[in-house]
Amino acid sequence: MADCPPIVDCDWLHKNLEKVSILDASWYLPAMQRDAIKEFSERRIPGAFFFDIDKVSDTDSPWPHMMPSAPTFAKLSRAWYMFKAMGHAKVSILNGGFPMWESLAHPVDRERKPVDATSSSPAEYTCEVLKGSILDMAQVEANIGSKQFQLIDGRPKPRFVGEAPEPRPIESGHIEGSYSVPFLDVLRPDGTFKDESELKQVFHEAKVDLSQPCAVTCGSGVTACVVRAALEIVGVREAPLYDGAYTEWKTTGKPTYKGLDKSPYAQ
């Protein structure tokens, strides 16, 4: 994988199982009532290890699953954007994930496996957070006036416009000037990414100018990474993540808006 793509398909992975490390970073919102750890222990891609994004996070932050410090990441290791933000370029997403792998009848390991199982040959991993990969709240607030980048929100549209509740005890809405690209809009029903031309149309319909700087966010910094991967597929190589996301923004009392007020759609 000299030129590492943002996504790889299941057939490619099946042919290269012995050449790569596989991390299952499945994660679900509490309302989904699914246990990613239990599911992994029962069924997984052969050789995969579980990667818990809640544990591999900044535990000193009051916000959920914030990006860890470089030392924390080096000790525990995480998923696609976390690796990229820490400077690890050779990392790809399995297009469609485990459901697609299983639907194509590729081998599945059903032997019960503890989620804390480690490699037989662990190694020290040195990393450093790439400058410009993560945005803080001050940078996002400053951007409202300066408009240096387009902030793309990956939450479902009803939460963005304030018609549906947040999964946390805060009022829904959006940050002034942000663009709504729900993460499900960049995916097909089977969970695979849409192709490049389809993704370009999604961003076009959301009034996102792909020739201009972009950044991504969502409710807590997780599903925004799906939109971030879609941006990379269409050629946007740099798009930092506002990791504190809407949860931090709203909880700290920053102004938010409902409907399409103060968004690009009202312009």
Q: What separation in angstroms does the CA of 3 have from each of 7, 89, 237?
A: 12, 9, 13
Mean per-residue pLDDT, 88-95: 85
Mean per-residue pLDDT, 18-23: 90
Q: Give me the helices (H) in 89-135, please.
A: 97-103
pLDDT at 52: 77
Q: At what angle do helices 224-233 and 196-205 cross, to 10 degrees?
A: 120
Could you give the CA distance from residue 28 to residue 57 in angstroms, rounded to a whole number? Answer: 16
Q: Which two tokens stand for residue 29?
A: 């919102």
List active site positions: 218
CB 210 within 8 A of CB 236: yes
Of residues 53 and 46, which shows the higher confidence score? 46
Encode pLDDT of 205-222 as tens digits: 999 999 999 999 999 888
pLDDT at 246: 97
Domains of the chain: 7-103 (3.40.250.10), 134-266 (3.40.250.10)
pLDDT above 60 (res 242): yes
Q: Which two tokens stand for residue 254?
A: 């920053």
pTM above 0.85, yes or no: no
Mean per-residue pLDDT, 179-194: 92
Encode pLDDT of 145-167 as tens digits: 999 999 999 999 999 999 999 98
40 closest CA partner among 56, 57, 23: 23
231 closest CA partner among 261, 185, 199: 199
Helix H, strand E, coil C: the string for 147-188 is CCCEEEECCCHHHHCCCCCCCCCCCCCECCCCEECCHHHHEC
> 257 - beta bridge partners?
174
Encode pLDDT of 93-127 as tens digits: 889 888 899 999 999 999 876 655 555 566 666 66
